[in-house]
Structure 1
Amino acid sequence: MNAAAHEKASLYWCRIMHERLLPFRHKFTYRVFSLLLDIDALPELARHSALFRHNRFGLFSLHDKDHGPRDGSPLRPWVETQLRQHGLDAAAAHIRLFCFPRLLGYVFNPLSVYFCYDQLDRLRAILYEVKNTFGDQHGYLIEVEDCGERLLRHGVAKQFHVSPFMPLSGQYDFCIRPPAENIAIQIRHTGAEGLRLLATQTGRREAFSDRALLKAWLRHPLMTLKVIGAIHWEAARLWRKGAAFFRRPEPPVSAVSHISSPVKHAPGD
């Protein structure tokens, strides 16, 4: 794989943790890997890789229909439209998608993140893309002031039903370290009664290459199946513990919720 392709993609070795705190404690952790991909470079990455494919079956692949409008159309026009509608045109110069790839044709991404940069490669917007196991999807678009590699904090009202064991009400508070040599995403779901859920994903970078992909496959050969399997296994455990069940409401009419106020740097960082 050539040097130019290396600069347009990275692999991150990650640890995911979920901890439910109310009305009882329930915690689990697992190891995964994620890819950070320049959405304009997907065809090029596929051409120069023996293991990665774009919109085709492969050991590793990314399909446009798994993200954005989910109709198979290219991702850039859809992301550009979301940014333009909210006055964030400058953030569309470089768009990098952080997500799980398909492994042997299968993936489920509970959370994918678009990091949107201006012409000077400054992070200007973050678009969180959230999916549930009912087939629904919703996005949260956040404006960002230039932050370098500092931690960012922002909060949004929860708009989208994710788990049948969590109510739709409440607030998400995000704390995120943009991708560099490391990445960190923390999500706190808070309700009137206090902190309901704490979820984190932290990772360290490795250069994108066929060797790195092969190593990821050998370490986690069934990772994408493990993700969906773990979701249902933990749901069964919650049900056995007596967690309240909340029926799925209709998803939001708008595909993306926009948070207009810029995010703030985390104190002391």
Structure 2
Amino acid sequence: MPSPRPAAPDALAPAVCFGAVMHERLVQAHNRFTYPTAFVRLPLSRLGEIHAPLLGIDRFNVFSVRTRDHGRRDGSPLLPWLRGILAERGLAAVCDGEVMLQTMPRVMGFVFNPVSFWFCHDRDGALRVVLAEVSNTFGERHNYLVHHPDLAPIQPRDELTARKLFHVSPFFPLRGEYRFRFDTRGPAHVVHIDLWDDGQRQLGTCLAGRAQALDGRAMGKWLLRHPFLTLGVIARIHWQALRLAAKRVSFHRKPAPPLEETT
């Protein structure tokens, strides 16, 4: 008899998500790939209270989440940094609830997060604002802050846009816009990011994972399934770059990063 599937935790509770990431290039040379992945979702108001076997918060363990990997990158508390960004842009009043950080932890001290998400809720639990913290392989990062113009709650089918300002892949020029969709209400947490340029979808990306409670069982499952996940992210990025180079996809030199940290 098969073992029962673990119950999905509350959407604002600490969780581990197991799923997949998909990229599909739609211009010049078609290229599609799907890889298994995993990530954690952490409520920032309770970050210091999270305890799970194999996971350390600001301390070394098999898996670890370090405040110096996010925000100001100096080890200072994350929630005040984010609250400051929201206040500067007049968003603090509608983001008076929990903030969930969705990210990949360090594995044996090594980390690379192509993108981490900060989901900002109101006091009733409705999603209002999302900050996408994007990193490239050159050691640079940029934040895209997205929300509805009228600050209405973000629904799963809603599409939010941001002009592309940060160089990520040398196989795309620095132009166009990102279109985001978020579904974080159920046991499956899904993010869609599409790149559009000149009225055409250039790239489709989907990150999805099914949540289970963040505990020793979940972290042990991660260790058995994906012991080298973060190293694998770097390896797969370079492998896909080689594939695109072999297809003679146009190469674009890296421009200077944007002056503003958050747009």
TM over 0.5, yes or no? Answer: yes
Identity %: 38
CA RMSD of aligned residues (A): 2.0
Q: Partner of 1:224 in structure 2?
A: 230
- 2:28 aligned counterpart, secondary structure: coil
Q: Which runs of 5+ in 2 are unaligned?
A: 1-8
Alignment counterpart, residue 64 of structure 1, candidates 63, 67, 80: 67
> Cα–Cα, structure 1 residues 7 and 22, in superposed 2: closer, same or farther, change >3 Å?
closer
The answer to whether structure 1 residue 98 and structure 2 residue 102 are counterparts is: yes
Whichever residue aligns with residue 250 of structure 1, its letter is: A
Report deviation, 1:195.
1.8
Report deviation, 1:148.
7.3
Contact map agreement 1:108 1:224 (CA 8 A) in 2: yes
Cα distance in structure 2, aligned partners of 1:152 and 1:59: 37
Q: Partner of 1:8 in structure 2?
A: 13
Q: Partner of 2:194 in structure 1?
A: 188
Whichever residue aligns with residue 237 of structure 1, its letter is: R
Q: Partner of 2:135 in structure 1?
A: 131
The superposition leaves residues 163-182 of structure 1 with CA deviations (integer Å, 9 ceiling, x where unpaired) of 11111111111122125311
Cα distance in structure 1, aligned partners of 2:210 and 2:185: 9
Cα distance in structure 2, aligned partners of 1:149 and 1:58: 36
Whichever residue aligns with residue 62 of structure 2, its letter is: L
Cα distance in structure 2, aligned partners of 1:42 and 1:198: 32
Cα distance in structure 1, aligned partners of 2:255 and 2:75: 26
Contact map agreement 1:6 1:208 (CA 8 A) in 2: no
Residues 101-112 of structure 1 mapped to structure 2, 5 A cutoff: 101-112=105-116
Cα distance in structure 1, aligned partners of 2:238 and 2:111: 15
The answer to whether structure 1 residue 122 and structure 2 residue 126 are counterparts is: yes
TM-score, normalised by the number of residues in structure 1: 0.88
Alignment counterpart, residue 46 of structure 2, candidates 22, 41, 46: 41
Q: Partner of 1:83 in structure 2?
A: 86
Residues 210-249 of structure 1 mapped to structure 2, 5 A cutoff: 210-249=216-255
Q: Which runs of 5+ in 1 are unaligned?
A: 258-269
- Pairs aligned (count): 252
Contact map agreement 1:149 1:180 (CA 8 A) in 2: no
Report deviation, 1:143.
2.3
- 1:233 aligned counterpart, secondary structure: helix
Q: Partner of 2:30 in structure 1?
A: 25
Whichever residue aligns with residue 145 of structure 2, its letter is: L
Contact map agreement 2:110 2:230 (CA 8 A) in 1: yes
Cα distance in structure 1, aligned partners of 2:252 and 2:59: 37
> Cα–Cα, structure 1 residues 100 and 179, in superposed 2: closer, same or farther, change >3 Å?
farther
Report deviation, 1:153.
1.1
Cα distance in structure 2, aligned partners of 1:173 and 1:120: 26
Q: Partner of 1:261 in structure 2?
A: none
> Cα–Cα, structure 1 residues 200 and 7, in superposed 2: closer, same or farther, change >3 Å?
closer
Q: Partner of 1:171 in structure 2?
A: 177
TM-score, normalised by the number of residues in structure 2: 0.90
Whichever residue aligns with residue 194 of structure 2, its letter is: R
